[in-house]
A and B are shown apart, each in its own frame.
Chain A
């Protein structure tokens, strides 16, 4: 095949989109001075962390042909769990472990219900969305959970304007993205995730244990969502059961903008990360332009529609 327009769109589409957005916000006089600075990019990267880490898990799920709507609730749930444990005097490491574990457990239950009861992921995770959110409010007694101090609070700060170091959250996101990308591309597990999403009947025919695989995917993704919850906690410095409402839609949007197909079997981690960045840049740039938030919402909504349309164009031309 020649490097046609279609291939360019498929391979480099998200990347071109990112550059386009950055260039667009660099041009106006209002933003030119501040937008293209190291410090601003540090802010953008930090703002991307939560959606990006969520998108890692979501990419796995969407590539496998599934969907998870309970991410925002899981993040709120784990942030409350973390805050309550810090209140009880736990140190940072076990808190992180407990948060990831509790979120992986939610994922495990999602996966078990989807694979075991053969129900559609959309319905099951829509149910979990309510259950996890309600449980978080219950545990937190319907208010924010405050604590004195924790090293966790330092992991998302961009406070040192002189320093060039990125906050730990960004590094974690980059490391985890690299690891997930490698796992998806180079391991048996990764190939099986693609096989499951590409054609579940073929996967079954070829002896892939589809039930176990699905449960594993949702549990691993749950672990990612727990980590996203950790950085949510770190950013707010309190456990908030009402945080991250609707965040799953941002995360799904990032994955789709990044080139994954909702029908499964297609998607890359790099694409999803770029998708997450595109949304963060759009938000950041719109703020600097002084556009009202409703305008940002409209723009991001349109970007999602365009991205899905491009996805359909790619899918349609393949067959």
Chain B
């Protein structure tokens, strides 16, 4: 490495959102014509860092240099013009426009507003040719192409402004193996042309195959960097996960009873490929996996929120095969959505209404609600769970995330459910509320209830659960008692690097 080989250099980048320190100091360097893997667990700060690089956020402090010049993008458009292009995990194509229109979107060849058709065509074709995909029909609508081809179109759009650095976020998460191989060929081609590529992926095996060097982020800091073929997967996994398990998780004594839920070979569109498991009364069952591995899809399928393509969900004590969410509540299941704002709660309604929504028929008779009793019931939970609010009549949107989550869980407690499906129960809430929710889960198990917890935070799963199942690419790959798992072992299974 010489001083003239200037690529992209980051030094001590910091960024806070309110009281949360998303980035505590990130430094690394990418050389021209290098594929650099950026690795880290969910929440390690990769997204924030990429948003800063692509101009969507601005760093609080730290220095960025591109090609030896200070690099401070004002917004994503400015970042593109300065030579940093980003390909997001979710594709951003206008499905109804043609391939050519998509590639030139925002950078049309035009004279006084009139599009120069010939120049447009040539530029679009040149961009595709650079990727080795000149066969793609420029006049077809983008929406008619497969995901893999759409991705190529999107990369072509990024190449239009001749970027020095191309950032790719989880580009293979929705690709088949064959398409992944083709994408790698394309990426290697770009490397030969001198483009630096930041490659973000959870799939470590992929990174090893493709990348030259790597940087690992953990809790918003750079914890390791090096040549990827000189480092073992184990070393990388240890860098990713090496943190202490805090003593947040009270172990309440509980005994495993009979099987209460038997899930046999369920699949659902589009992500859930195959999952079978049994859970018992008094058991806390954890589901680990990367984002998009199908954990939420599995819970939704069990709760009949998504239709099953194949397979069976048997609830002991009930014989029906097909069901609706309404029926599931009646059978004693309860579901906590990972998405409080969009699915879990009605933000402009009261705490009482949110808490009792599944069983409003039971307050009064002939369809008339006894509002006093409804509020009294809600108030009891508000007091018991120490929800910080004025009273049970307050709008739930006024509460903090942790307090909202307590109400959302209280809905299951009040119903009452005997099988709790909790999707990311502690996401985005304060430590105090977290500890309280762990306590509650322990007490539920002690009372003979069943709890299934989906979480991206491994110490939480290992601290809390009796049994942990790990999902990888839509399949429930392994189920073992907690004592047989470690964080690195879970990561190995979750990243498909067994």
Q: CB within 8 Å of B: which residues of A? A: 1, 186-192, 194-195, 198-199, 201-209, 265-266, 318-319
| CB-CB nearest in chain A for B352 | A191
CB distance from B327 to the nearest CB of A (A): 8
Interface segment out of the listed B338-346, B442-450, B484-492: B338-346
Docked-complex contact A202 and B369, CB < 8 angstroms:
no
B358 cross-chain contacts in A, Cβ below 8 A: 206-207
A265 cross-chain contacts in B, Cβ below 8 A: 346, 348-349
A191-B360, A202-B344, A207-B358 given; A319·B397 CB < 8 A:
yes
CB distance from A211 to the nearest CB of B (A): 10
Docked-complex contact B353 and A186, CB < 8 angstroms:
no
- Does B188 touch A at the CB level, under 8 Å? no
Could you say which interface size class chain B belongs to?
Answer: 20 to 34
A194 cross-chain contacts in B, Cβ below 8 A: 346, 349, 353
- Does B411 touch A at the CB level, under 8 Å? yes
Docked-complex contact B346 and A199, CB < 8 angstroms:
yes
Docked-complex contact A202 and B357, CB < 8 angstroms:
yes
Of all A-B residue pairs in the complex, the 8 with the closest CB atoms, nearest first, are A207-B326, A198-B346, A201-B343, A206-B357, A207-B329, A199-B346, A206-B358, A187-B367
| CB-CB nearest in chain B for A182 | B368
Docked-complex contact A205 and B369, CB < 8 angstroms:
no
CB distance from B371 to the nearest CB of A (A): 7
Pick the contact of B397 from A203, A205, A318 — CB < 8 Å? A318
Q: CB within 8 Å of A: which residues of B? A: 305, 324-330, 335, 337, 342-349, 353-354, 357-358, 360-361, 367-369, 371, 390, 395, 397-398, 411
A209 cross-chain contacts in B, Cβ below 8 A: 324, 326
A191-B360, A198-B348 given; A1·B368 CB < 8 A:
no
| CB-CB nearest in chain A for B339 | A201
CB distance from B171 to the nearest CB of A (A): 29
CB distance from A183 to the nearest CB of B (A): 9
A202 cross-chain contacts in B, Cβ below 8 A: 337, 343-346, 354, 357
B390 cross-chain contacts in A, Cβ below 8 A: 1
Docked-complex contact A318 and B349, CB < 8 angstroms:
no
CB distance from A45 to the nearest CB of B (A): 29
A207 cross-chain contacts in B, Cβ below 8 A: 324-330, 358
CB distance from A226 to the nearest CB of B (A): 23
Docked-complex contact B305 and A204, CB < 8 angstroms:
yes
A192-B360, A207-B326, A208-B326 given; A198·B369 CB < 8 A:
no
Docked-complex contact B357 and A208, CB < 8 angstroms:
yes
| CB-CB nearest in chain A for B394 | A1
B354 cross-chain contacts in A, Cβ below 8 A: 202
Cα A203 to Cα B328 with chains together (Å): 14
Pick the contact of B349 from A189, A198, A208, A319 — CB < 8 Å? A198
**Extra inter-chain contacts (6) besides given A206-B325, A206-B358, CB under 8 Å:** A198-B347, A204-B305, A206-B411, A207-B358, A318-B397, A319-B347
Docked-complex contact A318 and B369, CB < 8 angstroms:
no
Cα A205 to Cα B413 with chains together (Å): 15
B398 cross-chain contacts in A, Cβ below 8 A: 1
A194-B353, A205-B343, A206-B358 given; A318·B348 CB < 8 A:
yes
Q: List 11 A-B pairs, Cβ < 8 Å.
A: A1-B390, A187-B367, A191-B357, A191-B369, A192-B360, A202-B345, A203-B357, A206-B357, A207-B325, A207-B327, A209-B324
Q: Is the interface of A mostly helix, strand, loop or mixed?
A: helix
B360 cross-chain contacts in A, Cβ below 8 A: 188, 191-192
B361 cross-chain contacts in A, Cβ below 8 A: 188
Docked-complex contact B346 and A195, CB < 8 angstroms:
yes
B335 cross-chain contacts in A, Cβ below 8 A: 205
Cα A266 to Cα B343 with chains together (Å): 18
A188-B367, A201-B343, A207-B358 given; A195·B329 CB < 8 A:
no
CB distance from B136 to the nearest CB of A (A): 33
Cα A195 to Cα B411 with chains together (Å): 14
Pick the contact of B347 from A1, A188, A192, A199 — CB < 8 Å? A199
CB distance from A189 to the nearest CB of B (A): 6
B347 cross-chain contacts in A, Cβ below 8 A: 198-199, 319
Docked-complex contact B349 and A206, CB < 8 angstroms:
no
Cα A1 to Cα B305 with chains together (Å): 37
| CB-CB nearest in chain A for B353 | A191
Docked-complex contact B348 and A205, CB < 8 angstroms:
no
| CB-CB nearest in chain B for A263 | B348
A188-B367, A201-B342 given; A195·B353 CB < 8 A:
yes
CB distance from A316 to the nearest CB of B (A): 12
Docked-complex contact B395 and A318, CB < 8 angstroms:
yes
A186 cross-chain contacts in B, Cβ below 8 A: 368-369, 371
Query: Interface centre among A187, A199, A319, by most B CB within 10 Å?
Result: A199
CB distance from A31 to the nearest CB of B (A): 40
Cα A281 to Cα B400 with chains together (Å): 43
Cα A191 to Cα B371 with chains together (Å): 11
Cα A198 to Cα B357 with chains together (Å): 12
Docked-complex contact A188 and B397, CB < 8 angstroms:
no
CB distance from A161 to the nearest CB of B (A): 42
Cα A143 to Cα B93 with chains together (Å): 53
Cα A191 to Cα B411 with chains together (Å): 16
Cα A6 to Cα B348 with chains together (Å): 15
Cα A195 to Cα B346 with chains together (Å): 7
CB distance from B350 to the nearest CB of A (A): 10
Docked-complex contact B324 and A205, CB < 8 angstroms:
no
Query: Interface centre among A187, A189, A191, by most B CB within 10 Å?
Result: A191
Docked-complex contact A195 and B357, CB < 8 angstroms:
yes
B357 cross-chain contacts in A, Cβ below 8 A: 191, 195, 202-203, 206, 208
CB distance from A75 to the nearest CB of B (A): 29
Cα A115 to Cα B337 with chains together (Å): 23
Docked-complex contact B329 and A199, CB < 8 angstroms:
no
Cα A56 to Cα B464 with chains together (Å): 52
A190 cross-chain contacts in B, Cβ below 8 A: 369
Query: Interface centre among B328, B349, B371, B395, by most A CB within 10 Å?
Result: B349
B328 cross-chain contacts in A, Cβ below 8 A: 207
CB distance from B250 to the nearest CB of A (A): 29
CB distance from A37 to the nearest CB of B (A): 40
CB distance from B425 to the nearest CB of A (A): 15
CB distance from B455 to the nearest CB of A (A): 19
| CB-CB nearest in chain A for B327 | A207
Cα A36 to Cα B428 with chains together (Å): 58
CB distance from A202 to the nearest CB of B (A): 5
A204-B325, A207-B324, A207-B328 given; A188·B345 CB < 8 A:
no
| CB-CB nearest in chain B for A191 | B360
A189 cross-chain contacts in B, Cβ below 8 A: 367
Pick the contact of B345 from A191, A199, A204, A319 — CB < 8 Å? A199
Docked-complex contact A187 and B368, CB < 8 angstroms:
yes
Cα A186 to Cα B370 with chains together (Å): 7
Cα A201 to Cα B337 with chains together (Å): 10
Query: Interface centre among B324, B348, B358, B367, by most A CB within 10 Å?
Result: B348
CB distance from A6 to the nearest CB of B (A): 12
Cα A266 to Cα B395 with chains together (Å): 12
Cα A319 to Cα B330 with chains together (Å): 34
A201 cross-chain contacts in B, Cβ below 8 A: 337, 342-343
